[in-house]
Amino acid sequence: MAIGFFVGVLSASTAARAADAPAAAPAPQITFNEAIDRALRHNPTVAVALAEIARANALVTQARSGFFPTLVGNGSYTHLNGNRFASDRKTVTADQNQWAGNLTLTLPLVSPVAWGQTGAARDNVRISEASAADVRRALATAAARAYLTVVAQHRVIVVNETARASAKDHYTYAHTRLLGGLGHSIDDQRAAQDLASVEVQVQAAYAGLVRAREALGVLLAADTPVDSTDTVALAAPPDRESALREANVQRTDIKLLNQRLTAAQAQADRDWTYYAPLLAAVGQPFIQEGSPLVPRDGWQAQLVLTLPLYDGGLRTGIAHERAALIDEAHADLEAGLRQAQSDVRTAFDTLLLADKGLAAARDATNFAQKSLELANLAYQAGATTNLEVIDAAQRARDADTAAAQAEDVSRNARLDLLVASGRFP
């Protein structure tokens, strides 16, 4: 009897994955790159980040209005209980009905505070853009991990499906021997128990696939679960020195921290605007009716100079606050750089260890397969009971599962290194 586990589980075909799987309904398949692209286009987190950029641009428009001209129209109507007269009781000084209208045009000529607020608003736009880029990075990483989880779960299903087929073959062989008077009842019961145990693992593997596909679908903002294809194409990881160097300049979280520090320093450089004078030109044409002492129409113009002398400590408090923000931004950036370097070192060393573990897991799979074949031959020759066969089958199944898990660890380690160095997405 030919009985064995599938050795090449790490490169299983679609046909093997498509075995009878009532616990996992069909779901649309997409590639790894398609999953990342769909997540970045449709996930609500990205939409929120883009809305934050739009809001920051709107705040720039609001701040910029402080040094743009303003035009205000005013109108009034007054009804008195009667005409108003001078002391001679003959000269009318105010009619019973009066109306007036004017336009006031204010043109800020020197408006340092508004200039500073506009500069700060523009800095916030750049921060929002950097934050959106970091959100995209985090989302792409989450989608990639979810995709790899689906791929890994398919590998586990292949292992368990192959184990179920082998256990079924072994049970059929043991049961046929029993019916033919050549076998033993205990061998038949052991084979049946092993087949039932493998069936439990098969159903658990399909349940894990359901959860993994649903999680991927949520990240991709899909209305259905989403499935993976057989292959995952990750970029080649960088060497250690390149990764350490690139992490400080390419990672979006480091760029965001740098932008926050730059904005904080620029804000502190604008402290002078609170001490500078303000100069505005004001023009006002008017027209009125009902007050003989005032011309019916005319205009007036003014230059208004405002010099801030004392503000109760407002400007000093603002300066101290901005200095504290610079210190915080410096500390955050230093911490971020240290974390980035640590992430690269950890990911690089983990990748090396994961690849070694994967090689060892594949060797264990081969050895377990050979042990299973020998146990099967011995059982067929009548040298042993099927207890050795079942034990060898369990060991082979465990070795195949460990190899599938080792492949997943290796792929995630590669993804970690790409993320840590700023090369993904």
DSSP calls for 86-155: -TTSSSEEE-SEEEEEEEEEEEEEE-HHHHHHHHHHHHHHHHHHHHHHHHHHHHHHHHHHHHHHHHHHHH
Q: pLDDT value at position 82?
A: 87
CA angle 394, 397, 402 (to 5 degrees): 125
Strands 227-228 and 297-306: unpaired
Q: pLDDT value at position 263?
A: 97
d(CA 298, CA 301): 11
d(CA 140, CA 422): 12
Q: What are phi and psi of 31, to 5 degrees?
A: -80, 170
End-to-end Cα, the chain, rounded Å: 50
Q: pLDDT value at position 231?
A: 79
Tell me the CB-side half-sphere exposure of residue 65, using CA atoms within 13 A. Answer: 7
Q: pLDDT value at position 96?
A: 87
Q: pLDDT value at position 230?
A: 75
d(CA 415, CA 350): 11
Residues 6+ apart with CB under 8 A from 260: 127, 329, 332, 333
Q: What is the pLDDT along the chain (425 residues), one digit of tens a residue?
A: 333 322 232 223 333 333 344 445 678 899 999 999 999 999 999 999 999 999 999 999 999 999 999 999 999 999 999 888 888 878 888 888 999 999 999 999 999 999 999 999 999 999 999 999 999 999 999 999 999 999 999 999 999 999 999 899 888 988 888 888 877 888 889 889 999 999 999 999 999 999 999 999 999 999 999 999 877 888 899 999 999 999 999 999 999 999 999 999 999 999 999 999 999 999 999 999 988 888 899 999 999 999 999 999 999 999 999 999 999 999 999 999 999 999 999 999 999 999 999 999 999 999 999 998 998 888 888 888 788 888 899 999 999 999 999 999 999 999 999 999 999 99
- Provide the 10 A C-beta neighbour count for residue 312: 7
Q: pLDDT value at position 361?
A: 96
Q: Quickly tell me which residue has 């009902």 as its tokens.
A: 290
Q: pLDDT value at position 12?
A: 31
- Provide the 10 A C-beta neighbour count for residue 212: 24
Q: What is the 8-class DSSP label of residue 22?
A: T
Give pTM, 2 decimals: 0.83
